[in-house]
Structures are given as structure tokens and as C-alpha cells.
Structure 1
Amino acid sequence: MSLRRTLLTFALCLGVGISMAQTPPSFETVRAAHTPSDWLLLDRQGQPLQRLRIDKGVRRLAWQRLGDTSPALQRALVTAEDQRFWQHGGVDWLAFARAALDKAGSALGGDKATRGASTISMQLAALLNEQLRAAPGQRRDIARKWDQAMAARDLESRWSKSQIFEAWLNLVPWRGETVGIAAASEVWFGKQPDGLDYGEAALLAALVRQPQASAARVAERACAIIATLRNEDASLPLPPCDTLKGMAVQQLPRRALAPPLQPAAAPHAARLALSDWTRQHGNTAPPALAAGSEPVLRSTLDGRLQRLANASLHRHLRELRRQNVEDGALIVIDNASGDVLAWVGSSGNLSDAAEVDGVLALRQAGSTLKPFLYALAIEQQRLTAASLIDDSPLALTAENGVFIPRNYDRQFRGWVSARTALASSLNIPAVRTLLLTGIAPFYERLKRLGFTTLTESAEHYGLSLALGGSDVRLLDLANAYRTLANRGMANGVRRSRDEAPGNKRRVFSEDASYIVGDILSDRGARAPGFGLENVLATPFWTAVKTGTSKDMRDNWCAGFSDRYTVAVWVGNASGAPMWDVSGVQGAAPVWREMMMALHADSPSRTPSPPRTLQAVQVRFTDIEESPRREWFIAGTEVREVGRVATDETTPRIRYPANGLIVALDPDIPAGNERLPFDMVPLRNDHHWQLERGGSQPCRIALAANESWAPEPGEWALSLQDSGGKTLEQVRFAVRGSPRHATQCPENRN
């Protein structure tokens, strides 16, 4: 293009460019139309708790007021982009003429680099009007520049300088997906724009002209900006160029894609809140607190408690890392309102599955369902808290074979009260209790409690339902314990402040709920299983239960005070078993820490019993339980409890049953697997005789109270008196691979 043609084009643009200009929108309209890429989850006090990315194509935060940006940033940007911004009327005519001449000189074959002439006002005009912008890869001709100049002049006649600068700061693209000063400041320096210093401001200013430039090129331009500022005012706190180079190398490549921005305390709760909103309102954004700010979702979460829950779970899981534990989840619910106060779905960076929400994940319940079983039995008046249950070997025919429940410690305690059986989490008494209530009634009661994940029939779960052989969600488990805290009344939880509380329904009687809560708070009744001093004991009233699923894949602790319910799960999202993590080592310490924090200022008070309950002093005979005051549903009270008398004087075999098939468990260490034999009544002067025939005959004699390390084969067990007379004989089989050296060579006959 010749010089003459260039100048002619420049002159003709006066008429051509004006025709493309459009009346600019008002400042208020532009600010109101600003759409952040993120939504905010607010806690119950209205404080930001979690930032949630909605628009994956752009990173744009709330509208930033000019007064909330640092003076260093404002000065650096003006120096870099438009030095006479505060003086000109939208167009810097001197810079415009120089740019035109540079372009003409370049057209004549000169080697001088052309310079830009776009003022901040002209750039904003192009950001507001797509027709004024060059398409990607398209050269910016002088006609388009002229159109921008005319639009800028029109903009300056309608907006103030501060409004133009503020809008430009919020609309200008920086690097990659980042748009606006709020996102740029957060992405590269992790701070608000009002905290940017001169070095940070110079780097951001250098990015405006060449957003995709290398770190070295950005640093070079930032150094030039600092040099200009130093010439203008030597007293400014300006960093040396070497510092800028180091900052550019460290920050820019690492932040090429915007990372998750703060705050980030409740990611799983935020995603669930977004899902709830979308289900109810479609793609309509929730309201914002102010024009141009992020849409907000209001939650019931307590920000302080949420952060404390995160910290507690992380701290404890780090301590369990050597025991192959990496995941956990936690929920806190207000008993009265049902408000969810804390929702921690995972262990975050400790987990290989941080996106999985452990509060909603299906995991095996373990012993955590036992309180509801005993509540049903007490309500049905099939048991009282003082009733005796036999904790001795039990073998029951099931659909898939013989069901043999075992206690966690592989021990048997004989006759125990229901109070001790529940508080100490004994498995065999729980199975016997399920036989009293019936499987179907217990299954239906669990469904009424809100365990919607019980999708199979009652027959499918069978007797294992007493021991938690079903998958449940931590959310449902916590709310079921809240039902006990609320004297048997159940309703849903609230996650949003705008959500109406659900209708209440009675699931258990007030009497049965109180008695079970009283049992779960009894550290004396808990002592046979956990000892008197353990992590479940709190200095104020709480009711709590632990649970561990088969193979130590899940560990639970759920319980309530007079005001709150807390439930914790610890395990591995992958399903891998933990290594030697007991009920009081896994989830319980986190549960206790949360309860202590919740009641730091107001200790939980012991609930008052319902007026319909009867308090009776009970004495036990023939068993090792001390006299105590016990609670009874009216009409079921007793004052003395003992084993049922029997006329039998000749001992008989109670376990194993004739025809029993025992399967060796490969998950139990060989030295720990023992098969107990049981006679009634117990006679220490009697003994057992074991015989195996076939190709590997074997005969073993055992004392009356001695258990046996089982070996594969077909066995005959005889009960013999002191003179060697056989009183009774049963036959049973052991299946599986040998776990230890045979006992037969010892010839224990």
C-alpha cells in the first residue's frame, strides 16, 4: 500500500467509521450483565464457603470496583496501556498519528516496528461491540481503528473516566481462559486485586498486550514498565528487574490453566447444592448479592465448623496412613432443625478418589444398625434393657449354608443383659435378638427410618441384617441416629436455608428411643467390649455406637448429644481393607473431637426420661452384672433377673450342631481362628474327644473349656465324662485349605 493511499484511507475513515458506531450501553447495564464463571456456596452466616466452577470455557469472577484495586495496579496498567488516559477524551491523537505514520512507513519498506494506538477507552469500546473487534488472525486495519476511536469518544461523552477504567479492568482478557482483574489476580498471585504490589502489577500489565507471550518476554516487558515508573517517581517501592524475571518464571507457566480458586472448604456439598438447584430451577442461575457478583447458593453449613471438620478428619487420617487408610467422610446435623452443619465428603489431597462423596457413597454398615434392632425389640416388648441374652456359639441354617455369627474379639461371654450386649456390640446376642423381632419387621423399620439403599428384599439380607450386612449411606445413618435423639421422630435433613423442613413421622416409640439412647451413653455397659476408658467417653452426655464391616473395609462412629448428631466414616474409597484398625481407632477419635468442639461452651445435658417409663432397681443372679437402676416400659419391669432354671443334670452338646459345615476364613490369621465347643451345663471334669477317619486319621482330646484350631476333614465330636464314658456325639465337617501344622502327631489322646 502506498503512502498516498494510506493517508487517503485515513481521511475517508471519518465518514466510513462513524457509520459502524453504535450507541454504547450504560455503565450500569454492562455491570449488571457481567456473568461470573463461578457460583458461591455461602454458609449459614452468609460467608463464602466454596467457589464452584460453572462455565468451563472462561474464568471470570465477580465485578471488581475500581476502588478495590491497588494504586500500584492502576498506575502500572495506565503506564503500560495508555499513559495519557486521564487527560484525553477517548483518543490519544498523537499516538494515533504516530501509529498511522509507522504503518505508512512500514508499507514503504521501512524496518521500524509499528506501535499501537489503542487507548483504554478504545479497547473497552471493542470489548462492548463485537463489530469493532478483529477476528482471530485478522489484521487490525486503520479503518477499524478509526471506528474504535469514534466509539471511544462517544463512550467518554456518556461514562466517567473511572467507570471506563473499572469496566475495562473487569472485561479485558489476560492469559488463556482468564478474564478480568479479579480472576487474574487470584489465578496468578492468589490474592485480591487490592493487595497487588508493583512487581505483581507490572507482570499483569505486561500480559495485557501479549497474553500468550513466554515468561521471558513478559518479564522483559514488565521490566520496561518498572523502568518507566522509576523515571516518573524514584520514591516508588519498585522491585529490581531480576526479581520480576524470577516471578515470571515461577508463576506464569504453572498458572497457564486456572486452578480451583478460594474458598474451597465444601466441594461435595457445593456440587450437591448445585445439583439440587438445577433440578428445581433448570439452568437459571441463582440470584447474586449485587450486580455483577457471583450467583450464590445459601446453605445450612457452619463455616467455622466445616473447616474444623476438614482439619480434624485430615489430621487423623494422616496418623492412619501407615495402616492403609486414606479416605473418610463426616457429617454434623442439628437435632432440632435437621440443618446440616458440616459435610465433609472426602479427605481431599490424601485420597486417590477425592471426587467421591463419602457422605453419599454406599458402604457396609457393620454394627451401626444394632441400636435400631434393639429399639424394635424393646418397643415390641420382646426384650427389656435388663433381659438376658445368651452370648454363646450359634449356628443357624441359612439359604446359602450355615450362618455362624462371631463376636469381634472371638470370645463368648455367656449370659449378658441386653444393655451390655448392645453397648459392647456383641454380635451373637444381636442375631438372637433379630430372631425375636423377625427379619421382615426389622427390614421394614429400617426402610421407615430412611435407609432407601436397602433395595433388595428382606430375605436377601437375611440374618446378616443384624450385623450390618447391607450397604448404607453416611447421610442416612446419621439421620437415623438423629431419629433416636429426637425420641423416635424422623424427618429429612436441610442443606439449604431456603429449604422447608420435611414432615415428621414417628418411627420408634418415645420410650424405646430413650432406653436405647440411655444404653448407648452407658460407659459401664460399654466396658466389657471397649474398656472403661476409651475415646468414646466424653465429659458430658453423649450416646454413641461404632461399627466395623467385614475385612475392616469400613469403620464407623455415629452418635448424638442433646443438640447434635455426628457421624464419621473411615476407610478406602477403593474398597481395600484397612490394617488392624479397630472401632475406637478409626472413626471414633474424629467423632469425639467434633463433639468436644460442638459443646466447648455448652456441655450436653442428660435428657429427661419420658413420664411413661418406669425406673426400677434390678438385681442380677448367676451372671456378672452389678445391681443397677434400669428403665422399663410400663408393665415390663422386673426386680430380679437370672438364668432360666433347667432340670437337666446331664451335660449335652450345645455347639456345634450335628451336620454343621465350617468354612475356614482365609482373611483370619491362622493362629487366631478357633472353633469353640459348648456344653450345658458346663462341667469342668468332662472333656471333648475329636476323631477324624479316612486316609489321615486323627484323634485329639480337649479340656471342657478349650477351643480348637480347626483342620479340614470330617470330624466326630464326643462329650465324655470324667470316666471316659461318651454322653453324646455329633458330626461336622471343616472345609478349606490347611492353615497350620496338624495337631495329630502330638498324640494328645
Structure 2
Amino acid sequence: MIPRPARTLALAALLAAAGGARAGVPNFTEVRQDHRPSETLLQDRHGEPLHRLRTDASARRGDWVPLAGISPALRQALVLSEDKRFHEHSGVDWRAVSAAAWANLWATRTRGASTLTMQLAGLLDDDLRLGTGGRSLRQKIGQAVMATRLEAGWRKDQILEAYLNLVPFRGELVGIDALSRTLFAKAPHGLQDTEAAIAAALVRAPNARPAAVAQRACGVLNAMREARGAGQADCTALDMQTELTLSRRAWPPSEGIAPHLARRLLAQRGEADAGQPLRSTLDAGLQRLALRTLQQQLRELRGRHVEDGAVIVLDNASGEVLAWVGSSGEMSRAAEVDGVTAPRQPGSTLKPLLYAQAIAERRLTAASLLDDSPAHLQTASGLYIPQNYDRRFKGWVSARTALAASLNVPAVRTLVMVSPDAFARQLEQLGIAPKEGGGYYGHSLALGSAEVTLLQLTNAYRALANNGRACPVRLQPGAAAPCTQALDAGAAFIVGDILADPNARARTFGTDSILATRFWTAVKTGTSKDMRDNWAVGWSQRYTVGVWVGNAGGEAMRDVSGTSGAAPVWAALMRHLHAHTPSRAPQPPAGLVRAGVRFAGGLEAAREEWFLPGTAQALFAIDTGAASVRPASASGLKDSQDQVPPRITAPQDGTLLALDPDIPPARQRLTLLAEAGGAPAGTLRWWIGAREIGRGVRAQWLPWPGRHVVQLRDAQGRVQDERRIEVRGAAVKPGAAPR
């Protein structure tokens, strides 16, 4: 039998020969760079942490912690517990090997000769990982070989740092950062002696019962105290601390102030960037203020059955999102719902976009008179009777007053001029895409019956701030996306001027409402049907701010108006944004005309008003000889009809026709009617599907069963207006041939 010293020397020679090469061993920098936390960190525009979100369900790993950021007590406890001669050996502790019996040296139950470097080798190489049945002899020899290679290429501090960041501790916890934050609720640099002893004990027995961990930790703690020349530890107190520690879960999977944006950006990123921090355009200070202001306002609204809200702040020029608050957080029973992207009815906040389109099409000016009186509008689904918020009517008012004071009936009359389908197309150009066509909502579209998101609505208002240019928002640093001219620049300016006019909104909101700021702002509030949603959206020279309050479940609020719900949050954020930055009124686009106007009968005080080129007039009076909803009588623009786009007046969108089998088909023709506006009547073309079926402002069409799109085109083939109708067929009786 070979003597023990000889066996030891032979094994040493074998390992030394096998460990001479360093090929295949990763270097320290590669290992550190390949580390991927199980959490993804959302950062603001300056790199400040905003939110942490777990993205790897297989294990819980924190950030890579440098050795200098790890408690000296833990470093000492680990070395005393796992590898007392760590700083003396070269990967394999030959004194431990020679002191162990050969029969137990490579046994699966023996760990006394396994150094920290050997254990690290098992963590770095999947083939050397510890299995449920222990390591085989081949794996242990491989561990020793790789350990000598690691020691030849790595420093001792690098080995210890890598080990502490890669070692499994308990359950799914891997690495010292995850362990410290979960079980001790602190960063690794703050671990004290008893905590370090518990952590070191978990290395040897990660999933042991608390009593066994406490017993092992007591031994480690006593070894630490002995090395310092101190007395024995109180193991009874340590036992209680271990029990409490192992039951703690202080590191939630999601933590921070921007969970909704974090999830949105995570869904957009590629797998190659997994684990890397997400840099956003948010401003951490503004994000915290927006969340705090929203929560404070909702606390003040307690008792009015409202618990949710959302806020978004956009930079007008760049489109960068500076704040994104998706919910009220702990105050909400549906905190996971993102109120910024959840579709809701916008109420009166669509009115500025409607009036802007009517002004751009020269159907109205800011001084045009609209009749705020009871209206009964025949629609395909029945009689539509719009009402104002206060159930009162103001009579004849200017478009400026109607919009600023948020009168409903004039808005509906304006939509009659524009048509629901045309307004729906305008909304789509501004980035708001209703689920259905304009005909589906009918005239109620003027009052916000179509659902939109806070993000879409706020960015559409940003288009008003940017002279009608619609541009995508930006959530991360990078090049800006191209913009489109979605609305006439002059019309956008005029609407902004109206929404910034405190005197114009006085009839509804008074002269000293929360909407009036000491610097230039344009703002509109809105409340949806049954008080389910309340909005305040507006812009300054540099920023556009949108606020929604309500209930994520759709329950109605109680006694919450436009100025008492979302508006206080909007006003507080605007005051903060412009505490040290002025906001001046925008310069009018080229071509706009500012002229004095008077109103016959003293309907409103004389003033100066902005006009698009060719629409200015000095006197506005009531035309009592025409229908109140026709463009000429409603706006007084008889001299500018040459600039009004053509539109279909019959049939109405959504018309349903049924062919009668008793009537010859040739006698069942449908009359198509249009208003030429500024276009020569002879240039208009009627198209149904791929066929031209007539010309001029009037045409006859022989219907056939099916769903059809009736289009009115100009001489160049451009669609000016369209209607969707359905014809339901019936078999023609024998002998009923056309005559």
C-alpha cells in the first residue's frame, strides 16, 4: 500500500500538471460583465434610479457588488467558515488534503478540503456544479484543476468578490446583494457581526431549518470573536434573530415611483439588453412631485368616491415624457392599471380639436355666432337632444365664448358643420384613433363619447402648442421621430388663444378659477358621462400637462367638476414647472389677421379677434332667415364660402336601406346630395367602391345589396368626404323587370 505522504505528493503532481494551462478559464472582468441581475432598473434622464422591476423568475440576483461595498464582518465570517487559509493557498489547500483521510478526501459528504476558489470554480463551470447527489470524483478533480488556474490568473480579492456575488444562499437568493436586501433589509456594506455570521452559515446549508442555521452561525460568530480576542457570543439571542431573519422578505419584486412606464419599456426592449438599466426621458424630481400632488388631491377628494388618477408631462419641443404617473399607487384598488394608456371618455376635452378643425376649414371664426339653445337633431338611431353641463342655455354666443365656457350645444352644432366622419379623420391625424368611425358615435362625438387615452389626448394638445404639427412622444433618449402637419397652424394658434382667455371662460368658470395662472397657459377641462372621468389638459410655452382622475373600475364620482377634480393637479404642476421659467404667449403664424369686431344687438362686447386670411369681418349679426346649423348662418362667413371644403349632405353615415321586392329596381334609386363649398360643382365626382356613378352636387344611384362607402372626390381624385351605408337586398318578384 502506498504511504499517505506519497499519495499526497502524487496527487499534487497530477493537479499541478493539469493546472499548468490557463486556457478556458474566464477572466474576472468577463465574469463581472456577464452578471445579470434578476431586476431591471429604470433610470431617469440623468441616470437617477426611478423604479426596480423583477424580470427573471428563475433566481433572485441583485447588482454586482464590489468587494469594498461588502461588510468587512461578512468577509471575515466567510473566510473563517469556509476557508481559513484562503489567503495562504494557491487554489487547493494541501494542508487540508494531507490532514484528511484518503477514504474521505473525495467523499461526497466531505467539504473540509474544498476551498473558496474550488467552490467558485463550481459556480463558474456548469459541468462542475454541485448536484443533488454530490460531486463525482471527476468533478472534484476538475474543481481542483480549475482552482489552480483561477489562482494563477485572478487576485485573491477578485476571487472573494466573485464568490460573494455568485454563491447561492437560500431558496432563490443568489449573491450577497439579493441576500442582504431580502433577509436583512439593507445593503451588503451594512451587515453587522451577527448578520454576517448568519449569512456565512447559509453558504454551508442554504435551506437548513432555522435552528440548524442558528447553531452554525453561533459557531461562526464565536470564531470571529475569538480572532478579535473577544468573549463568547450569546447564542440564545442569535437563535431568535435567525428565526426572524429567515422569515423576512424585505425586497419586493417591484419598487419605485414609475412602475407603469418601467413595464412598458421592458416590453419594448430586446432580449440582448436583458438586465441592463433602462434609461428614460423622465425627470425624477418632477415624477415624484407629480405622484405626490396627485395623491394629495385624491386625499382631499375622499368622500366623493374617487381613488384613481394619472398624470403625464410632455416637453413641447422634443416630445420627451418628463413625468408618467399611471395610478395613485397604494390609494388605488387597481394600482396595476395604467391610467395614462387606459381608454376613457374624454368629455369636453375634444372640443378644442373640433373647433380647430372648423376654423381651419373656414366654417367658423373665433367671433362667429353660434346658437346655444335647445336643439333636436334627427339621427339614424333617433332624436339627439344635447344639453349643457348646467342645463341652462346662453342664447347666441361667439365661438370663442362657446369653446372657453365649454358649452355643449354649440359644440354639437359645430360638429354638424364638420360631420362626425370628418372629425374622426381629424382626430386620427392628431394621433387619436377612435375604435369606430365617426358615424358610430354621431353628434355625441363632439362631447367626447369616443374613448381616448390620456397619452393620446395630451399629445394631441401638444400638437396645438406646436402650430398643428403632430409628433410622436419619446420615452427614451434618442433621435426625434418625424412630425406631420395635422392641423392648420393658424387654427391651432387661435384655439390656444381662446383657451388662454380667462374672460372668455368667465360665463362658466368665473374670472378667478383654478385655471387662471399668472403666466401664459391654455387649458381645457372635461367630465365624461355620469361623472366617470374628469380631465384637465393644457400647455404652456414649454410643456403640455394632462391629468385624469376617476376610478379604474369605471364607477361614477360624486360632485367632482372640471375645476375641483383634475384641474388642481394640473395647476400645481404648471406652477412648479414655471416657478423660475417664464411662459410667454406664442407668436402668431404668418398670415393671421388681428382685427376689431362688433356684435349686433350687444350680444358680446366689442374686441379684437384673430382671423385666418380671408375670413375677417367687422360686424357679426344673427341671420334669422336661415337654419341655425348651416355654416353660413352659424358663422357669418358668407363671403368665404369659396374656401369651405365640399361635403356630403345625404345620405347620412350609417344609413340602412332595404330594397322592396314589389318595386321595380329602376324605381328604387338613391339620391346623393352634396354642398360644393369652394369647389366648382362640375368638378365633383361620386364614387361607390371602384366605380364612378355620377358628377356634380347631385347624383342618382341604383343600389345593390351590401355595405358601401359613398365618396365625394374632386377632379384630381382626392376624397373630400365619405359616408358608409348598408343596402339589404330582396329577391325581385317574377315579372317585375325594370321599365
Same topology, TM > 0.5: yes
Partner in structure 2 of residue 480 of structure 1:
460
1:337 equivalent in alignment to 2:333: no
Shift of residue 86, structure 1, vs aligned partner: 1.7
- For 1:531 and 1:643, the matched residues in 2 are separated by 26
2:253 to 257, 260, 263: 260
Question: Could you tell which deviates more after superposition, 399-408 or 45-54?
Answer: 45-54
Equivalent AA in structure 1 for residue 480 of structure 2: P
- For 1:5 and 1:473, the matched residues in 2 are separated by 82
Partner in structure 2 of residue 129 of structure 1:
125
- TM-score normalised by structure 1 residue count: 0.76
Shift of residue 174, structure 1, vs aligned partner: 1.3
Question: Could you tell which deviates more after superposition, 328-337 or 94-103?
Answer: 94-103
Superposed CA offset, 1:472-513 (max 9, x none) = 121111110001001111121112213x32222212222211
2:267 to 266, 272, 275: 275
Shift of residue 302, structure 1, vs aligned partner: 1.8
Superposed CA offset, 1:671-719 (max 9, x none) = xxxxxxxxxxxxxxxxxxxxxxxxxxxxxxxxxxxxxxxxxxxxxxxxx
Superposed CA offset, 1:129-153 (max 9, x none) = 23333312x1456775555344323
1:183 to 170, 178, 186: 178
In the TM superposition, 1:85-234 aligns within 5 A as 85-96=86-97, 100=101, 116-136=112-132, 138-140=133-135, 145=140, 147-233=142-228
- For 1:82 and 1:491, the matched residues in 2 are separated by 62
Equivalent AA in structure 1 for residue 263 of structure 2: R
Shift of residue 359, structure 1, vs aligned partner: 1.6
Unaligned runs of 5+ in 2: 627-739
Partner in structure 1 of residue 680 of structure 2:
none
Partner in structure 2 of residue 512 of structure 1:
491
1:525 equivalent in alignment to 2:504: yes
Question: Could you tell which deviates more after superposition, 426-435 or 68-77?
Answer: 68-77
1:556 to 527, 531, 535: 535
1:388 to 353, 359, 369: 369
Equivalent AA in structure 1 for residue 79 of structure 2: V
- CA pair 273-114 structure 1, distance change in 2 beyond 3 A: closer
Shift of residue 200, structure 1, vs aligned partner: 3.1
- For 1:460 and 1:447, the matched residues in 2 are separated by 15
1:309 equivalent in alignment to 2:302: no
1:171·1:180 contact (CA, 8 Å) conserved in 2? yes
- CA pair 440-239 structure 1, distance change in 2 beyond 3 A: farther
Unaligned runs of 5+ in 1: 108-112, 287-293, 648-749
Partner in structure 2 of residue 743 of structure 1:
none
Partner in structure 2 of residue 455 of structure 1:
435
Q: What's the secondary structure of 2:504's corresponding residue?
A: helix
- For 1:253 and 1:276, the matched residues in 2 are separated by 36
Shift of residue 62, structure 1, vs aligned partner: 3.1
1:424·1:526 contact (CA, 8 Å) conserved in 2? yes
Q: What's the secondary structure of 2:50's corresponding residue?
A: strand
Superposed CA offset, 1:617-647 (max 9, x none) = 3344545644433222243334444444689
1:466 equivalent in alignment to 2:441: no
In the TM superposition, 1:4-15 aligns within 5 A as none
- For 1:6 and 1:406, the matched residues in 2 are separated by 102
- CA pair 430-17 structure 1, distance change in 2 beyond 3 A: same
- CA pair 615-228 structure 1, distance change in 2 beyond 3 A: same
Partner in structure 1 of residue 710 of structure 2:
none
- CA pair 627-218 structure 1, distance change in 2 beyond 3 A: farther
Partner in structure 2 of residue 583 of structure 1:
562
Q: What's the secondary structure of 2:549's corresponding residue?
A: strand
Size of the aligned set, in residue pairs, is 623
Superposed CA offset, 1:219-244 (max 9, x none) = 443333333222222579x9965664
Shift of residue 124, structure 1, vs aligned partner: 0.7
- For 1:240 and 1:417, the matched residues in 2 are separated by 85
Partner in structure 1 of residue 276 of structure 2:
295
Shift of residue 58, structure 1, vs aligned partner: 1.5
1:285 to 270, 273, 283: 273
Shift of residue 57, structure 1, vs aligned partner: 0.6
1:20·1:147 contact (CA, 8 Å) conserved in 2? no
Shift of residue 404, structure 1, vs aligned partner: 1.2
Question: Could you tell which deviates more after superposition, 483-492 or 211-220?
Answer: 211-220
Q: What's the secondary structure of 1:123's corresponding residue?
A: helix
Partner in structure 1 of residue 524 of structure 2:
545
Superposed CA offset, 1:28-83 (max 9, x none) = 33223323333333322233333343322112233222122232222222233222
Equivalent AA in structure 2 for residue 284 of structure 1: A
- CA pair 224-411 structure 1, distance change in 2 beyond 3 A: farther
Superposed CA offset, 1:431-467 (max 9, x none) = 0111122222222111111112x23222111101100
1:171·1:179 contact (CA, 8 Å) conserved in 2? yes
Partner in structure 1 of residue 414 of structure 2:
433
2:222·2:233 contact (CA, 8 Å) conserved in 1? no
In the TM superposition, 1:377-416 aligns within 5 A as 377-416=358-397
- For 1:501 and 1:132, the matched residues in 2 are separated by 50
Shift of residue 161, structure 1, vs aligned partner: 0.8
Identical-residue share of aligned pairs (%): 52
Q: What's the secondary structure of 1:50's corresponding residue?
A: strand
1:18·1:147 contact (CA, 8 Å) conserved in 2? no
- CA pair 20-183 structure 1, distance change in 2 beyond 3 A: farther
- CA pair 206-312 structure 1, distance change in 2 beyond 3 A: farther
- CA pair 645-285 structure 1, distance change in 2 beyond 3 A: closer
- For 2:311 and 2:128, the matched residues in 1 are separated by 54
Shift of residue 589, structure 1, vs aligned partner: 1.7
1:439·1:462 contact (CA, 8 Å) conserved in 2? yes
Superposed CA offset, 1:126-181 (max 9, x none) = 11223333312x14567755553443233223321111111111111112222112
- For 2:346 and 2:268, the matched residues in 1 are separated by 26
2:550 to 544, 568, 571: 571
1:497 to 469, 477, 495: 477
Equivalent AA in structure 1 for residue 27 of structure 2: S
Shift of residue 611, structure 1, vs aligned partner: 4.3
1:73·1:196 contact (CA, 8 Å) conserved in 2? yes
- For 2:209 and 2:405, the matched residues in 1 are separated by 66
In the TM superposition, 1:65-76 aligns within 5 A as 65-76=66-77
- CA pair 546-144 structure 1, distance change in 2 beyond 3 A: same
1:490·1:504 contact (CA, 8 Å) conserved in 2? yes
- For 1:58 and 1:560, the matched residues in 2 are separated by 46
- For 1:235 and 1:481, the matched residues in 2 are separated by 70
- CA pair 12-352 structure 1, distance change in 2 beyond 3 A: farther
1:482·1:565 contact (CA, 8 Å) conserved in 2? yes
